[in-house]
Amino acid sequence: MPALLLIAHGSRDPRHAATVAALVEEVRAQRPGVEVVTAYLDHCAPRIPQVVGRLADAVAVPLLLNRAFHAKHDIPAALRAAGSRLPVAEVLGPSPLLLAALERRLAEAGLDVSSPAVRARTGVVLAAAGSSDPAADAATRAVAAEWRRSRGWAAVEVAYASAAGPRVPDALAALRAAGAERTAVSPYLLAPGLLPDRIAAAAAGADVLADVLGPAPELATLLLHRHDEARHAERPAPALTA
């Protein structure tokens, strides 16, 4: 089976690499037969050129939620610069597994997500990093809309930590104006760092603050799904025989 080359963005915050390492261990636990190797775009080691040369057969799987600049440009460019022609899997979102991971974190923070009545009274802020790519932000808004539709939340509002608004306090105010009795902030982010800390500081008025997605089992399962999709897509069709 081709190795799974997990390509993460990287961060100066040591919590980022520790979270990626924990996620890799969860992937290995779910599928012990697959080799999992990590490479980073920036800030952390090893970088992509240090890794791809020793991988004879692998699928690159971006640890990214949306198809924005890193997925469209940075990762392909880094692989080309390293002389690699590895197939690249799709980004993680959208997926029902991400919604399940978000709800896992809300449940861990004390919200009874299994109760339809609780969900019907609760408004959620889906707090994302934000992007300069309008398509990426549109994808995040689509995730919020699907989450509300499929799970019956009172409302789901999107807020951004790094792009132009709305910010978390704006989204919380919109939820209350829409009649939500309780509010929760759910970071749509993969690992701790500057932006999650910014979201947490802005979420002081919420009733519930969830953790980042981190090494959630659903996230590991999704990484394996993306790996499988890409490796099957690369497999040539069988020859027709008489």
pLDDT (tens digit per residue) in 126-158: 999 998 889 999 999 999 999 999 999 999 999
Question: Please, are residues 156 and 180 in contact by the beta-carbon 8 Å criterion?
Answer: no
pLDDT of residue 234: 61
Work out the mean pLDDT of the chain and round it to a whole number.
94
Distance of CA 195 to the CA centre of its chain: 14
pTM for the predicted model, two decimal places? 0.94
CA nearest 182: which of 202, 158, 204, 207?
Answer: 207
For residue 164, the model assigns a pLDDT of 77
Strand-pairing partners, residue 62, are 7
Give the residues of the chain that fall short of pLDDT 50: 236-242
Long-range contacts of 99-103 (CB under 8 A, 24+ apart): 99/143, 99/146, 99/147, 99/150, 99/151, 100/218, 101/213, 101/216, 101/217, 101/218, 101/219, 102/126, 102/147, 102/186, 102/188, 102/210, 102/213, 103/151
| Cα 121 to Cα 90: distance, rounded to the nearest angstrom | 35
At residue 237, the pLDDT reads 39
Q: What is the pLDDT of residues 57-79, one digit of tens each?
A: 999 999 999 998 889 999 999 99
